């Protein structure tokens, strides 16, 4: 076993310090477990999705939740094959980071429209109003769009804005979230609750309907482009039907209510599998197969595509030749113990590696990446992650993760099976894996990139176009917390410096915010 000096970084330290310590260093200088991102692969993935959106005939709204970084957002918003001026986020930390780092910046990636992707709650409205104001100070054309899928949310938003000053009370744009088959957030178009939400929007002068939002989370079950296209058509049909009903309701609304709403409504569809399937045709062509006319403008949204992962590769949707080489994210881990033939039927072989120098079924090893570093999400293929580097160790998988460590074993099947499953582009396919020895370093592909990335405080960036063995950058994701009812979020500037005041929403503000409002809001 060899020893190598590694750099230890405080999880809350400034990212510039991390860059000074590690940029130009080999991966051996990074302490494990560590999240590794291939910048060149991210750039290729982002450019591919922009091309798909252009061929589909709809602009792309990238979701920033997978990486939660300024650097990743810039790659999604501006590529050699197209650009976007809108995005969506999932947390208040991401929202503040995106506004702080992307609004009012260079025209090439200036963010004009940002959606907070969860249905709103009363405790966040004051901060959302403040963030919209901040965005408009940076760019007067900036708009912040919220999500609603309950009448109480609309009423709570209206009640807060109605008692605010003139600037803060300007109508707030909202997406109406509809269910498209995934039975998650959203309501069915035409249902009783759908009509109740519509009535609440029409009756709320401080709420402006921006459009309809659907998300086909169930499209991860697709196993090929044809299946994913069917999921995409379900999305298109649902949001288009909702648009038709909403257009009718707004036209019939009293008091000139239609004038404050977006016209035409924006109909937003997508998830990485269905967005990938959009390459199969245009919006108009797909609507024609459903015998539908468009009832608004369409846009495409997706987020995981920037990194991709084992779950996405299993869908076979991004392109028919999708490969493990399209997966930008892996977790660097160190082997901390080895257990040859521990799971073998012949107990006499326990503790002995095979004499031919190859790992066999029954061999196990222990690494320092477990459920925290990798997540415990699974997918269609076995295990919680698969070793992809070094290449002679392909065939090992993370089979039993505990919190901070995980058991590795040789995955079922043969190297020919693995080559076929992963469609590896390398000319030689796979070789049989070698034993994993204490001190060996490996990189493991996670089943689900979004969950695996969420527990890492730094991302170590490599570039396969530059050899892929050296740290070329360090990214720090936007993270936040809500202790004792306060919202504490670091801005991009604060993250870079490692110091500075938090934006705080105090208990008294929360009490003032919720006083007299509709407590039916979730």
Q: For residue range 339-396, list pLDDT tens digits in order.
A: 999 988 777 778 889 999 999 999 999 999 999 999 999 999 899 999 999 989 999 9
φ, ψ of residue 342 in degrees (nearest 5): -65, -30
Domain range summary for the chain, segments of one domain joined by +: 15-35+322-475, 48-309
Are β-strands 329-339 and 396-401 bridged in parallel, bridged antiparallel, or unpaired?
A: unpaired
At 494 the pLDDT is 46
Fold of the domain built from segment(s) 48-309: TIM Barrel (3.20.20)
At 259 the pLDDT is 82
Q: For residue range 269-286, list pLDDT tens digits in order.
A: 999 999 999 999 999 999
A 10 A CB-CB count for 470 gives 16
Nearest to 157 by CA among 143, 141, 173: 173
Q: How far apart are the C-alpha atoms of 395 and 411, rounded to whole Å? A: 6
Average per-residue pLDDT in the chain?
87
Find where tokens 């910048």 sit: 39
Q: What DSSP assignment string belongs to 75-100?
A: HHHEETTEE-SEEEESSHHHHHHHHH
At 504 the pLDDT is 39
All residues at 6 or more sequence positions from 257 whose CB lies less than 8 Å from its CB, including other chains: 202, 205, 250
Which pair of structure tokens corresponds to residue 223?
Answer: 């196993």
At 506 the pLDDT is 33
At 423 the pLDDT is 65
Q: How far apart are the C-alpha atoms of 17 and 34, rounded to whole Å? A: 17
Q: Which one-letter DSSP state was computed for residue 358?
A: -
Q: How far apart are the C-alpha atoms of 333 and 313, rounded to whole Å? A: 22
At 256 the pLDDT is 52
At 520 the pLDDT is 35
Tens place of pLDDT per residue across the chain (522 aa): 544 556 655 556 789 999 999 999 999 999 999 999 999 999 999 999 999 999 999 999 999 999 999 999 999 999 999 999 999 999 999 999 999 999 997 655 689 999 999 999 999 999 999 999 999 999 999 999 999 999 999 999 999 999 988 777 899 999 999 999 888 889 999 999 999 999 999 999 999 999 999 999 888 999 989 999 999 999 999 999 999 999 999 998 755 566 899 999 999 999 999 999 999 999 999 999 999 999 999 999 999 999 999 999 999 887 656 788 899 999 999 999 999 999 887 777 788 899 999 999 999 999 999 999 999 999 998 999 999 999 899 999 999 999 999 999 999 888 777 777 776 665 456 778 999 999 999 999 999 999 999 999 999 999 999 999 999 999 999 986 443 333 344 444 444 544 443 333 333 333 333 343 343 332
Fold of the domain built from segment(s) 15-35+322-475: Lyase, Ornithine Decarboxylase; Chain A, domain 1 (2.40.37)
């Amino acid at each position: 076993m060899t020893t190598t000096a590694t750099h230890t970084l405080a999880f809350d330290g400034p990212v510039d310090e991390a860059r000074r310590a590690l940029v130009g260093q080999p991966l051996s200088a990074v302490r494990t477990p560590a999240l590794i991102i291939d910048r060149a692969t991210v750039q290729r993935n982002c450019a591919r999705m922009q091309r798909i959106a252009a061929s589909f005939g709809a602009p792309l709204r990238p979701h920033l939740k997978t990486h939660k970084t300024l650097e990743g957002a810039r790659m999604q918003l501006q590529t050699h094959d197209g650009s976007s001026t809108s995005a969506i986020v999932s947390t208040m930390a991401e929202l503040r980071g995106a506004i702080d780092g992307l609004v009012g910046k260079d025209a090439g990636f200036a963010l004009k429209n940002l959606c907070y992707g969860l249905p709103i709650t009363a405790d966040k409205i004051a901060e959302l109003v403040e963030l919209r104001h901040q965005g408009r100070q940076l760019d007067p054309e900036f708009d912040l769009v919220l999500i609603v899928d309950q009448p109480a949310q609309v009423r709570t938003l209206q009640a807060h804005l109605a008692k605010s000053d003139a600037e803060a009370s300007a109508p707030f744009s909202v997406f109406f979230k509809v269910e498209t088959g995934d039975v998650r957030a959203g309501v069915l178009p035409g249902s009783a609750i759908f009509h109740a939400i519509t009535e609440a929007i029409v009756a709320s002068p401080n709420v402006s309907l921006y459009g309809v939002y659907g998300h086909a989370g169930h499209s991860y079950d697709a196993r090929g482009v044809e299946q994913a296209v069917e999921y995409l058509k379900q999305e298109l049909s649902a949001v288009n039907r909702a648009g038709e009903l909403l257009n009718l309701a707004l036209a019939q609304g009293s008091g000139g209510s239609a004038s404050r709403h977006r016209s035409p409504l924006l109909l937003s569809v997508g998830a990485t599998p269905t967005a990938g399937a959009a390459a199969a045709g245009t919006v108009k062509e797909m609507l024609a197969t459903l015998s539908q006319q468009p009832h608004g403008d369409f846009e495409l949204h997706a987020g995981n595509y920037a990194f991709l992962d084992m779950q996405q590769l299993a869908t076979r949707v991004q392109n028919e030749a999708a490969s493990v080489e399209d997966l930008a994210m892996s977790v660097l881990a160190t082997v901390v113990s080895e257990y040859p033939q521990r799971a073998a039927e012949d107990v006499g072989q326990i503790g002995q590696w095979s004499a031919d120098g190859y790992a066999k079924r029954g061999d196990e090893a222990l690494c320092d990446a477990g459920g925290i570093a990798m997540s415990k999400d699974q997918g269609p293929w076995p295990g919680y992650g698969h070793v992809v580097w070094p290449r002679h160790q392909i065939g090992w998988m993370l089979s039993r993760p505990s919190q901070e460590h995980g058991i590795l074993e040789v995955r079922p099947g043969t190297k020919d099976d693995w080559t076929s499953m992963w469609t590896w582009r390398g000319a030689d396919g796979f070789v049989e894996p070698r034993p994993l020895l204490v001190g060996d370093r490996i990189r493991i592909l996670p089943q689900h990139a979004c969950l695996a990335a969420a527990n890492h405080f730094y991302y170590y960036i490599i570039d396969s176009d530059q050899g892929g063995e050296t740290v070329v950058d360090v990214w720090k994701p936007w993270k936040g917390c809500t202790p004792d009812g306060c919202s504490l979020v670091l801005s991009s500037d604060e993250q870079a410096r490692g110091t500075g005041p938090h934006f705080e929403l105090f208990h008294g503000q929360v009490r003032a915010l919720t006083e007299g409002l509709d407590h039916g809001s979730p």
